[in-house]
Amino acid sequence: MEDLGLKVDLSGQVALVTGASQGLGRAMAIALAASGAHVVAVARNAAKLQETMDAISAAGGQGEIRPCDVSQREAVDALIESVAEQHGKLSILVNNAGITRDTLLPSMSDDQWDDVINTNLRGAFLFTRAASRFMMRARYGRIINIASVSGLIGNAGQCNYSASKAGLIGMTRSLSKELGKRNVTVNAVAPGFIESDMTKALGPALLDEVKKRIPAARIGKPEEVAACVLFLASRAAGYVTGQVLTVDGGMIA
């Protein structure tokens, strides 16, 4: 993972990251751990989660894996309760878990709609509801929802995904008004095209076309999104809440 030079001290804090088994979630988990947080890495795939934790440990960080289906209320509630009881706190929550089931709306099945909404939006709701109770009691917390530029401008073939990410943005803004007095901030990060297995699958020709739409003339790096999460997770961001930080190289400016 590239070191972008951003220095944030999260020593003594407990950070939970959903969707931490790969891609952006893995980069965020590694960055949070490198900044001193004890990272609770959550996803369905235990083997891939362990790869994330191995990378954290190799870099001198600390954490643990907690396999979980983010759409299942009882499992989420039990996980949050266990983490808070074991560590005595939950300082940072990053709702990153997300999937796509792309197709044009007239052809979209109920399952394609429900799978995306349940993982991307319901999952964030469940984790946030459970975690916010502990943060409110502690009068400190950082909640960061990973949205997407698709939730801001839409994208053909992604009505389900765009709706889930737009929902995250609406939840972010509403919840920031509910939790502000308890010193709990709630913000969203909306990435554009970021290096991943998904963008690689587009192929060189399509990626070249994508880059032409981006003023920065390149695809973003996972570490650049993780750096934004680090700032929002820090004490320095205590007066930043209800905001959507777009990380897209100027694509939708």
CB atoms within 10 A of CB 41: 30
- Contact, 166 vs 114, CB < 8 A? no
Architecture of domain 14-241 in CATH? 3-Layer(aba) Sandwich (3.40)
Task: Parse the chain into domains and list their residue ranges.
Answer: 14-241
Tokens of 151: 């939730």
Identity of residue 139: R
Q: What is the pLDDT of residues 189-246, one digit of tens each?
A: 999 999 987 788 778 888 899 999 999 999 999 999 999 999 999 999 999 999 999 9
d(CA 79, CA 92): 15
Closest CA to 191 of 11, 5, 28, 21: 28
Q: Which residues are catalytic?
A: 161
The model's pTM is: 0.96
Q: What is the pLDDT of residues 78-133, one digit of tens each?
A: 999 999 999 999 999 999 999 999 999 999 999 999 999 999 999 999 999 999 99
d(CA 232, CA 240): 8
Strands 92-95 and 184-191: unpaired
Residue 4 has a pLDDT of 67
Tokens of 91: 């300082």
Alpha-carbon separation of residue 71 from 42, 75, 97, 198, 252 (angstroms): 12, 8, 10, 22, 31
Q: Residue 37 gets which letter from DSSP?
A: P
For the chain, what is the largest distance between any 2 Cα atoms, rounded to a whole number of angstroms? 52
